[in-house]
Amino acid sequence: MAKTERLLVIDVGNTNITCGVFEDEEITATFRMMTGETHTSDEYGVLLNDLLQVNRIPVESLKGVIVASVVPKVMHALTNAIIKYIGKEPYIVGPGIKTGLKITSDNPKEIGPDLIVDCVAALELYGKPVLAVDFGTATTYILVNEKGELCAGAIAPGIRISAKALWEDTARLPEIEIKKPESILGRNTVDTMQAGLVYGQIGQSKYIINEMKRESGYTDLRVVATGGLGRMISEEVEEIDVYDPQLTLKGLKIIYEKNKRSKPQAKESETE
């Protein structure tokens, strides 16, 4: 019987570290842990091993690991944990990694690894031109043109950031669950907060998507959304064509395969 080989992909966000395990083209497991800037490599290693074990994934079945991170402070400990506890040198999305994506914005080095990964997946899976929208800690709108170039974008506060600002910076507004209320006509404090947060995000999304279509001239622009709250918003925004909750994980796998084919070591790969 052939040995099962799996790929571990890790997306380090500002709030959570999301992990996915691929077996061939299928994601067979996903799990999360809190992003902790004070965690040691041993703490990360134990967490990873425990989560893999709970999901019945032997460490020795992992053929490789790839990481994208927007939190540089955790990377030393996390990278060492992967090397020590999983026994793999991880590919890190950043300088030296082959993505196949050209970046033509004014300051390419300022583009976050998570945005690059989303665009790689959206471009590869859904064609071009394409707009990748990620409803995460921040809400990001990143445009890839008909040449396959990451050329423009917009970044706004995510719903959770906006909600946190409401209940932390005002004296009488409570911490609430973020969900769509039955009506935009709120009749109590919780409903009015939910209405403002959710319908505000819906309106923002519609306006930004339509303006990006208008200014770019891409009236046939394919819009692909992802992120934790993306499903709720996507159901209300007809301008969004596809909601793919695993877009970032799929993008990490695509980038891993590009680098695995071209060079044996990620650090030797050339940036495109």
Arithmetic mean of pLDDT, 15-29: 95
- Residue 230 confidence (pLDDT): 93
Cβ pair 272, 100 in contact under 8 A: yes
**Cα distance between residue 171 and residue 185, in whole Å:** 23
CA distances from 175 to 14, 97, 162 (A): 20, 41, 12
In the structure encoding, which two tokens stand for residue 120, read together? 């790689």
**Cα distance between residue 259 and residue 98, in whole Å:** 6
pLDDT at 209 over 50: yes
Q: Where do the H-state alpha helices sit in the chain? A: 41-54, 75-81, 113-126, 159-169, 189-216, 230-234, 247-262
pLDDT at 137 over 90: no
pLDDT interval class at 73 (50, 70, 90): very high
Arithmetic mean of pLDDT, 156-182: 92
- DSSP type of residue 267: G
- Residue 266 confidence (pLDDT): 38
Question: What does the domain layout of the chain look like in residue ranges?
Answer: 6-92, 102-250
Q: Which of 11, 114, 134, 244 does the annotation list as catalytic?
A: 114
- Residue 41 confidence (pLDDT): 95
Spell out the CATH class of 6-92: alpha beta
Q: Is 114 in the active site?
A: yes
Q: Regarding the domain delimited by 102-250, which CATH topology (the fold level of the hierarchy) does it fall under?
A: Nucleotidyltransferase; domain 5 (3.30.420)
pLDDT tens-place string over residues 76-115: 999 999 999 999 999 999 988 999 999 998 888 889 999 9
Mean pLDDT of the chain: 92
